[in-house]
Amino acid sequence: MNATANTVPNFASDQEVRWCPGCGDFAILAQMKKVLPTLGVKPENTVVVSGIGCSSRFPYYLETYGMHGIHGRAPAIATGLKRTRPDLQVWVVTGDGDALSIGCTHLLHALRRNVDIKILLFNNRIYGLTKGQFSPTSLPGLVTSSTPMGTAHEPLHPLSIALASNATFVARSVDTNAKHLGEVLRRAAAHRGSAFVEIYQNCHIFNDGAFDFAKNPAIRDDHIVAIAHGEPLVFGKNRDKGIRLDVAGPEVVTLGGEYNEPDLLVHDEKADTNTIAQMIAGMRHPLMPEAIGVLRDVDRPTHNDLMRDKTPDPKSRETAVNRLLHGGETWTVA
């Protein structure tokens, strides 16, 4: 990580990073520092906006313009910024509580409007900064500081919500899967329109091991499927399993017997409708392997495209303002 920081000093700020040692956020920060210099966007044209929570300290640690806002509101702040400054590349860093509980509305609306911002949701399925209460993505039964008898309710699923909001770019990656995460971040940056990335992030203080199935090298290959456009959904340590689309939905099949690769679902991230993407997003551990990679990447006019704002030069604006002031019925007193 130190080596990364040394090779790209221009995106690393001088602030002391204050996450708990061992936090998954460090790995994500390292990837961002690696990816940002490769995008062709200068630090001064990059803005990182966040809400409240552990992940939302992110802007302080990058030498870009940044705003650490209020709880849940980063997408709204970013929307106003991008609307008036289309020249900037705007990132939003948020967490499961920030984006799906207190700020859920803003996430949905930023995505449906296709505001050209990149939203990274660090999902650790817990409230960290406030010391370990359940979050909207916590699984039922999880014992937390506010649910000593176990969390009661069904969780929200970020990818399903993003797809339901008709987001044009939806992806998932894992904090410590450096190569995969780096590629997903690059894809998100390259997307024109809202990009939504869920990152499985381990909070080893309050919810350690929440994503063991996706992170533990010994077992992860049997529990996650890395999807790629135009490729069949194959997974497993020995790449001997796949996802087939049955009339009842996606099902896991073993390859080599009744089914082979040509029988499998081939991923199409460009599909006009997001029906299949929703099915993939609905594959959940432990019943199914969970998908990582880009679920959807389609073109749609951005918020700014649709608003068609004009920027008249001062002289023609003066004429236009003058016309406004004289609108309606007027009369002159000599």
Partner 1 sequence: MEIDEKVRESQAKSPVDVEAVVIRFAGDSGDGMQLAGTQVAVSSALMGNDIATFPDFPAEIRAPRGTPAGVSGFQVQFASRQIMTPGDTVDVLVAMNPAALKANLGNLKAQGTIVIDIDAFDAKGLRLAKYDENPVENGSLDEFQVIEAPITSQTRKAVEQLGIGHKIATRCRNFFAMGIIYWLYGRDLTATTRYIDSKFTGEVAEADKLALRAGWHYGETTEAFERSYQVPAASQAPGTYRNVTGNEALALGLMSAAHLSGKDLFYSAYPITPASDILHRVSRFTECGARTFQAEDEIAAICSAIGAAFGGAMGTTGSSGPGIALKTEALGLAVMLELPLLVINVQRGGPSTGLPTKVEQTDLLQAVTGRNGEAPMPVLAPSSPGDCFNIVIEAWRIATKLMTPVMILSDAFTANGAEPWRIPDITTLEAIEIEHPKSPTGMEPFRPYDRNEWLARPWALPGTPGLTHRIGGIEKADGTGAISYDPLNHEKMVKLRADKIEKTALLTPDLEIAGPESGELLVVSWGGTFGACQEAIVQAQRDGLSVAHVHLRCLNPLPRGLGAILKRYKTVLAPELNLGQLRQLVRAKYLVDVRGLNKVRGQPFWIGDITTEIHRLLGQEK
**How many CB atoms are located within 10 Å of the residue 278 CB?**
16
120 binds partner 1 (CB under 8 A): no
From the list 41, 45, 113, the residue with the least C-alpha distance to 79 is: 113
Stated as kind and residue range, the H or E segment containing 252 is strand 249-254
24 binds partner 1 (CB under 8 A): no
Nearer to partner 1, 287 or 333 (CB): 333
55 binds partner 1 (CB under 8 A): no
Nearer to partner 1, 77 or 100 (CB): 77
Binding segment for partner 1 among 72-80, 151-159, 204-212, 282-290 (CB under 8 A)?
72-80
For residue 66, report the phi and psi dihedrals to the nearest 5 degrees. -155, 155
Q: What's the gap between Cα 93 and its chain centre?
A: 8
* Greatest Cα-to-Cα distance within the chain, rounded to the nearest angstrom: 97
Minimum distance of partner 1 from residue 105's CB (angstroms): 5
Q: How far apart are CA 99 and CA 71, in angstroms?
A: 9
Instruction: For residue 238, give both structure tokens.
Output: 């020995």
Binding residue (CB under 8 A) for partner 1 from 65, 147, 182, 245: 65
Minimum distance of partner 1 from residue 331's CB (angstroms): 5
Binding residue (CB under 8 A) for partner 1 from 39, 109, 186, 278: 109
Under 8 Å between Cβ of 206 and 129:
no
| Burial class, 322, CB count within 10 angstroms (exposed 0-12 / middle 13-18 / buried 19+) | exposed
Binding residue (CB under 8 A) for partner 1 from 7, 38, 42, 208: 42
189 binds partner 1 (CB under 8 A): no
From the list 265, 284, 144, 275, the residue with the least C-alpha distance to 200 is: 284
333 binds partner 1 (CB under 8 A): yes
For residue 287, report the phi and psi dihedrals to the nearest 5 degrees. -70, -30
Binding segment for partner 1 among 106-114, 120-128, 155-163, 219-227 (CB under 8 A)?
106-114
237 binds partner 1 (CB under 8 A): no
Minimum distance of partner 1 from residue 53's CB (angstroms): 13
Minimum distance of partner 1 from residue 109's CB (angstroms): 4
Find the binding residues for partner 1 in span 292-331 (CB under 8 A). Answer: 307, 309-312, 314, 317-318, 320-331
From the list 274, 145, 285, 252, the residue with the least C-alpha distance to 205 is: 145
Minimum distance of partner 1 from residue 258's CB (angstroms): 49
Minimum distance of partner 1 from residue 73's CB (angstroms): 4
43 binds partner 1 (CB under 8 A): yes
The secondary structure of 58-104 as a DSSP string is GGGGBSSEEEE-STT-HHHHHHHHHHH-TTSEEEEEEEHHIIIIITH
DSSP state of 115: -
Minimum distance of partner 1 from residue 19's CB (angstroms): 14
Q: How far apart are CA 86 and CA 63, in angstroms?
A: 20
Site string for partner 1, 255-294 (x = CB under 8 A): ----------------------------------------
Nearer to partner 1, 26 or 65 (CB): 65
Query: Interface residues with partner 1 (CB under 8 A)?
Result: 13, 15, 42-45, 47, 49, 52, 59-60, 63-70, 73, 76-85, 87-88, 105-106, 108-109, 307, 309-312, 314, 317-318, 320-334
